[in-house]
Amino acid sequence: MFNTKQGLKLGGLGRISPEVLFAGALGVVIVASLILTVYAAFSGGSGAVGEPLDFTDSTFTFQCLECPHQFEASTDQVLTHTSPLLLREHASILDCPECGTKNSCLMTQPCPKCGHEYIWPQTLSFYSSLQQGGGQALPTENICPGCGVDVDEFYRARRKR
């Protein structure tokens, strides 16, 4: 049994006072905290929610609503030609370089199953709500035109695993 007045008896080491035990435990916690802090600082980030994403070298695929033209735009092009309001909503609308129609190109997303790039219905719904002067964008069914998979169901099934 541990007696606080006498300390802890450790074999051939003799008795160790509670103050020394507490100081040793505190030292271990401090050293472990320092090691974890240094590791987190030099390991490239934790990927935690709220950590800023770096898209400096990224390209995004856009598709025109007027013609079937798809093209890639760099991060600089997207930031230059998109209003801050849309960027805050994680949306981008560009002019078509093929047919010249203004504000007709929306960002595509790849199908998680086959990789086919297309404009997701949620993006179309958001775009149509902007065209109508605001309002709530309505969620719609997201079926990939490339492979026919229900994207929302695909993600639900993967989450259940």
User: 139 versus 34: which is more confidently predicted?
Assistant: 34
Residue 38 lies in a domain: no
Specify if 33 maps to a domain: no
- Residue 152 resides in a domain: no
The dihedrals phi and psi of 134, each to the nearest 5 degrees, come to: 110, -160
- For residue 114, the enclosing domain spans 59-134
Checking if the pLDDT of 8 tops 90, the result is no
User: What sign results for the dihedral spanned by CA atoms 145, 150, 154, 156?
Assistant: positive
In a domain, 130, yes or no: yes
Residue 86 lies inside a defined structural domain of this protein: yes
Model confidence pLDDT, tens digit, residues 94-113: 899 999 998 888 889 899 99
Mean pLDDT of the chain: 78
- Say if 85 falls within a structural domain: yes
Per the CB < 8 A criterion, the answer to whether 140 and 121 are in contact is yes
Q: pTM here?
A: 0.58
Q: What is the DSSP string of the chain?
A: --BTTTBEEEGGGEEE-HHHHHHHHHHHHHHHHHHHHHHHHHTT----TTPPP--TT-EEEEEESSS--EEEEEHHHHHHHS-HHHHHTT--EE--TTT--TT-EEE-EE-TTT--EE--HHHHHHHHHHHTTS-PPPP---B-TTT--BHHHHHHHHHH-
In a domain, 30, yes or no: no
Tally of domains in the chain:
1
